[in-house]
């Protein structure tokens, strides 16, 4: 289905001027907040509308928890996201699904042919592990072993599970980038590495802001990290939170917490008297711990098995040395 009824591109006054297309689990949530703080940039209140990935589609992903996600699929609703943008501001959309889904670049070219495109790429095994941890934290990933979960990526895709389960496919960047390189000019596309956010922040932001077309003198506050990876301390408590059990009195969630939660969770939760939604959120927050580091030998093994050849193609595409990803 065409997004425009005319053959010529339409000037949408509220369309984005730049789009961050991914990849997922590469600091895009933090980047959204950094961009939002720039006085010359307007970011919608909603992050990841994913419009170009799913425009005018009815979605039927079949994986665990896939139904929890919602996206902006109607053109009018997407336009409305930018309706309050001040005159002269640069409007942005941060939606990591755009790198992965095949139709996104085509739709973007049709609707916003002059858009500036930004991509941030992360070591594909680290990216996959972070995605796996997020799914485990959500209570959606049934496979507790990371390497076993990777082996299921093709069968899950064939069963109609959503992109959150395609741990390998989402990290095969070369063909994903190629779709954009085939449709947009080189000066419209800027590719960074997740590593750059750590070791060359100042240079990254200067290049990013110049690419977008705003003042490069703005220095974002990077003291806060958004969506830091965690895993549940107690999966029984996590299940109770996820299932939205009743929390009044000693029933539902409170009863389960008393029965199975670690002592630290029980002591803290016992002092709370608040709404069910707030109670669940606070339980989820304290029922978390930092994840285990990925074993370096497993990391190298998985890289060689799934990603090594693709990473070489990526290096050639973006003109960056990625040999450190092989370490």
pLDDT for position 235: 66
Same-domain check for residues 31 and 124:
yes
First to last CA, the chain: 45
pLDDT digits (tens, 9 = 90+) for 91-119: 999 999 999 999 999 999 999 999 999 99
Sheet holding 189-193, edge to edge: 41-42, 90-94, 18-22, 116-121, 189-193
Same-domain check for residues 208 and 240:
no
Give the span between the Cα atoms of 90 and 271, in whole angstroms.
46
CATH of the domain at 200: 3.40.50.300
| Residue 68 resides in a domain | yes
The predicted model gives 298-323 an average pLDDT of: 97
| Residue 107 resides in a domain | yes
Does residue 125 surpass a pLDDT of 60? yes
Residues 120 and 193: beta-carbon distance below 8 Å: yes
Same-domain check for residues 237 and 201:
no
Domain that holds residue 201: 18-212
Same-domain check for residues 237 and 200:
no
Residue 264 CB neighbours (<10 A)? 11
Same-domain check for residues 160 and 248:
no
pLDDT digits (tens, 9 = 90+) for 258-298: 666 667 666 666 665 555 556 666 777 777 777 788 999 99
Give the span between the Cα atoms of 314 and 121, in whole angstroms.
10
pLDDT digits (tens, 9 = 90+) for 155-172: 998 999 989 999 999 999
Give the span between the Cα atoms of 142 and 144, in whole angstroms.
6
Bond into 104 cis (ω within 30): no
| Residue 181 resides in a domain | yes
């Amino acid at each position: 289905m065409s997004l425009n009824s005319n053959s010529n591109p339409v000037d949408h006054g509220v369309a984005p001027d730049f789009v961050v297309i991914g990849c997922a689990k590469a600091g895009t949530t933090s980047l959204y907040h950094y961009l939002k703080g720039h006085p010359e940039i307007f970011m919608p209140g909603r992050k990841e509308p994913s419009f170009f990935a799913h425009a005018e589609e009815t979605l039927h992903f079949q994986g665990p928890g896939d139904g929890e996600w919602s996206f902006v699929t109607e053109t009018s609703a997407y336009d409305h996201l930018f309706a309050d943008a001040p005159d002269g501001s640069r409007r942005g959309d941060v939606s990591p699904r755009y790198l992965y889904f095949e139709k996104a670049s085509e739709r973007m070219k049709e609707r916003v042919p002059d858009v500036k495109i930004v991509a941030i790429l992360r070591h594909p095994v680290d990216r996959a592990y972070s995605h796996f941890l997020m799914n485990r934290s959500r209570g959606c990933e049934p496979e507790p072993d990371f390497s076993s979960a990777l082996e299921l990526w093709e069968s899950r895709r064939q069963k109609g599970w959503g992109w959150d389960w395609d741990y390998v496919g989402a990290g095969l960047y070369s063909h994903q980038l190629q779709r954009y390189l085939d449709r947009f000019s080189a000066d419209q596309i800027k590719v960074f590495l997740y590593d750059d956010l750590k070791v060359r922040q100042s240079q990254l932001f200067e290049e990013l802001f110049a690419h977008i077309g705003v003042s490069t003198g703005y220095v974002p506050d990077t003291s806060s990290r958004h969506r830091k990876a965690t895993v549940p301390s107690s999966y029984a408590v996590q299940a109770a939170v996820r299932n939205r059990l009743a929390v009044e009195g000693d029933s539902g969630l409170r009863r389960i917490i008393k029965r199975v939660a670690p002592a630290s969770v029980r002591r803290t939760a016992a002092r709370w008297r608040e709404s069910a939604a707030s109670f669940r959120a606070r339980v989820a927050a304290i029922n978390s711990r930092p994840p285990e580091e990925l074993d370096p030998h497993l990391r190298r093994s998985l890289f060689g098995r799934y990603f090594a050849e693709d990473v070489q193609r990526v290096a050639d595409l973006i003109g960056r040395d990625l040999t450190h990803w092989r370490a």
